[in-house]
């Protein structure tokens, strides 16, 4: 059944590709394509204002509907101003006698005309002030955080109010909490130590899941598809793993063979083994950050490209087809949103399991 569906989707997709090939030969559609490409590029990046949608008037004027957000930069002193001063990158913002301009969605210090100087490789050479702005992603993180806080606080309260039984939305989330405890934390970390990691695992699961789902809404905020966000999450996993690592965890890294060999034999092997193990400490969380980033990024690109195809085709066949495909991919993306949260949590639990591992030396001595 599943293979059948996959086959159908694949056929559709191949059909689409041939259509695009046709479309690219036609003239006059190039503008639209670059516009869509730029739009997608723009969407994938963070932005300094919370734009809901934008349109172009008949007079050719760009209109943006949304909220400006505070820009906070450190450039010879703290400077806070509204992002509306940039006018979506169209004007230069003047703050305390300094001029700032947006270039590729980054803030640079410029002169009053907004000149950007480039080096030989076309990189801007302007001063880049330290940027701690409350961007669209930061707002979404805040909203998700608040949502999670009130959601799970009410769940906690419903337990004490109803004599240990969840009510309302908690009925939906309780099995997920229990699943994380019984099928992710306990099997990987062990009955004895799992409680220590539960707050992190639960928070990271729901945080990623909610943000992934938010990314699929028309608000279109690509938070988990942002390298800074996934890097932060992975680094927290990394720190937690290594700071809670037991003696056995470190012994496994620096003395993986144990007593199974005499020391002179081990030295030769360890020249290779120890660097690999040490590299492994960093590769594990790195894989986490890349996996989540790439999956969400790719999902957004595919989805938006398919939606963009509708505007390129503008035909009775192509547009419904790409609409159907976009719909199918959206459904898959909903699954991916959950799956990626699950994988991140699962692998974090696995790494915590390595860190919390304690061999029973007594038993081992008997076994030998």
Partner 1 sequence: MKLLEDFSLGLFFWQTLLFVLLILLLKKYAWKPILNAVNEREEGIKNALDSAEKAKREMENLQADNQKLLKEARLEREAMLKEARDMKNKMIEDAKDQAKEEANKLIAQAQVSIETEKKAAIAELKSQVANLSIDIAEKVVKEELSNKDKQIKLVESMLGEATLN
Where b means 16+ CB within 10 Å and e means fewer, 23-52 reads beeeeeeeeebeebeeebeebbbbbbbbbe
> Binding marks (x or -) toward partner 1, 141..160, rule CB under 8 A?
xx--x--xx--xx-xxx-xx
* Alpha-carbon distance values, 65 to 54, 307, 343 (Å): 6, 21, 36
* CA–CA distance, 224 with 136 (Å, rounded to integer): 12
* Alpha-carbon distance values, 53 to 50, 64, 213, 220 (Å): 9, 6, 19, 10
Q: Considering the rule CB under 8 A, would residue 171 count as an interface residue with partner 1?
A: no
Could you tell me the smallest distance in angstroms from the CB atom of residue 230 to partner 1?
Answer: 9
Could you tell me the smallest distance in angstroms from the CB atom of residue 72 to partner 1?
Answer: 8
Considering only the stretches 24-32, 57-65, 129-137, 249-257, report the one whose residues sit in contact with partner 1 under the rule CB under 8 A.
Answer: 129-137
Could you tell me the smallest distance in angstroms from the CB atom of residue 100 to partner 1?
Answer: 14
- Look at residues 355, 226, 211, 244 and name the one whose alpha carbon lies nearest to residue 289: 226
Q: Which residues contact 6 (CB under 8 A, 6 or more apart)?
A: none
| Residues pairing with 99 in the sheet | 94, 110
Do residues 73 and 107 make contact, with C-beta atoms less than 8 angstroms apart?
yes
Residue with Cβ nearer partner 1 (221 or 329):
221
Q: Considering the rule CB under 8 A, would residue 207 count as an interface residue with partner 1?
A: yes
Do residues 295 and 340 make contact, with C-beta atoms less than 8 angstroms apart?
yes
DSSP for 41-76 reads HHHHS--SEEEEEEEE-TTS-EEEEEEE-EEEEESS
Near partner 1 in 66-85, by CB under 8 A: 72
> Binding marks (x or -) toward partner 1, 178..197, rule CB under 8 A?
x--x-------------x--
Listed as own residue / partner, the contacts of 65-69 with beta carbons closer than 8 Å and 24 or more positions apart are 69/133, 69/134, 69/135, 69/136, 69/138, 69/139
Q: Considering the rule CB under 8 A, would residue 134 count as an interface residue with partner 1?
A: yes
Could you tell me the smallest distance in angstroms from the CB atom of residue 227 to partner 1?
Answer: 5
Q: 10, 127, 227, 261: which one contacts partner 1 (CB under 8 A)?
A: 227
Q: Considering the rule CB under 8 A, would residue 332 count as an interface residue with partner 1?
A: no
- Look at residues 305, 307, 292 and name the one whose alpha carbon lies nearest to residue 211: 292
Report DSSP state, residue 359: -
Residue with Cβ nearer partner 1 (110 or 230):
230
> Binding marks (x or -) toward partner 1, 27..46, rule CB under 8 A?
------------------xx
Residue with Cβ nearer partner 1 (165 or 268):
165
* CA–CA distance, 262 with 273 (Å, rounded to integer): 16
Q: 164, 191, 260, 363: which one contacts partner 1 (CB under 8 A)?
A: 164
| Residues pairing with 217 in the sheet | none
Could you tell me the smallest distance in angstroms from the CB atom of residue 194 to partner 1?
Answer: 10
Residue with Cβ nearer partner 1 (152 or 270):
152
Q: 20, 82, 203, 246: which one contacts partner 1 (CB under 8 A)?
A: 203
Q: Considering the rule CB under 8 A, would residue 102 count as an interface residue with partner 1?
A: no
Near partner 1 in 236-255, by CB under 8 A: 236
Could you tell me the smallest distance in angstroms from the CB atom of residue 277 to partner 1?
Answer: 26
Residue spans of alpha helices (H) in 85-135:
none
Could you tell me the smallest distance in angstroms from the CB atom of residue 138 to partner 1?
Answer: 4
Residue with Cβ nearer partner 1 (54 or 105):
105
Could you tell me the smallest distance in angstroms from the CB atom of residue 200 to partner 1?
Answer: 6
Measured in degrees and rounded to the nearest 5, phi and psi for residue 92 equal -95, 135
Measured in degrees and rounded to the nearest 5, phi and psi for residue 187 equal -65, -30
Residue with Cβ nearer partner 1 (198 or 343):
198
Residues that bind partner 1 (CB under 8 A): 45-46, 72, 130-135, 137-138, 141-142, 145, 148-149, 152-153, 155-157, 159-160, 164-165, 174, 177-178, 181, 195, 198-200, 202-203, 207, 226-229, 231-233, 235-236
């Amino acid at each position: 059944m599943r293979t059948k569906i996959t086959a159908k989707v694949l056929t559709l997709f191949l059909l689409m590709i041939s259509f695009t090939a046709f479309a690219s030969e036609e003239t006059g559609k190039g503008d639209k394509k670059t516009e869509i490409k730029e739009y997608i590029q723009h969407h994938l990046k963070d932005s300094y204002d919370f734009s809901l949608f934008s349109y172009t008037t008949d007079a050719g004027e760009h209109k943006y509907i949304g909220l400006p957000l505070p820009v906070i930069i450190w450039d010879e002193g703290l400077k806070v101003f509204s992002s509306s001063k940039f006018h979506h990158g169209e004007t230069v913002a003047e703050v305390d006698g300094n001029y700032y301009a947006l270039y590729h969605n980054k803030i640079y210090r410029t002169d009053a005309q907004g000149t950007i100087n480039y080096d030989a490789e076309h990189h801007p050479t302007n001063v880049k002030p330290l940027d701690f702005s409350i961007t669209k992603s930061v707002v979404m993180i805040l909203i998700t955080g608040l949502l999670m806080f009130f959601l799970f606080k009410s769940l906690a309260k419903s337990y004490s109010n109803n004599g240990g039984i969840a009510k309302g939305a908690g009925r939906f989330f309780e099995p997920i909490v229990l699943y994380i405890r019984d099928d992710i934390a306990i099997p990987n970390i062990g009955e004895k130590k799992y409680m220590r990691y539960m707050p992190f695992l639960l928070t990271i699961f729901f945080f990623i899941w909610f943000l992934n789902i938010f990314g699929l809404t028309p608000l279109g905020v690509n938070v988990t598809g942002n390298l800074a966000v996934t890097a932060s999450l992975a680094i927290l996993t990394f720190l937690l793993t290594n700071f809670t690592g037991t003696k056995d965890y470190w012994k496994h890294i620096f003395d993986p063979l144990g007593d199974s060999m005499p020391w002179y034999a081990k030295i030769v092997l360890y020249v290779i083994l120890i660097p690999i193990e040490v590299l492994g400490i960093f590769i594990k969380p790195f894989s986490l950050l890349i996996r989540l980033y790439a999956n969400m990024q790719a999902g957004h690109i595919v989805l938006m490209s398919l939606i963009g195809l509708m505007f390129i085709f503008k035909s009775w066949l192509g547009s419904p087809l790409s609409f159907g495909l976009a719909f199918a991919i959206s459904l898959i993306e909903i699954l991916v949103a959950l799956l990626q949260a699950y994988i991140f949590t699962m692998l974090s639990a696995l790494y915590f399991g390595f860190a919390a591992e304690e061999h029973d030396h007594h038993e081992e001595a008997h076994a030998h």
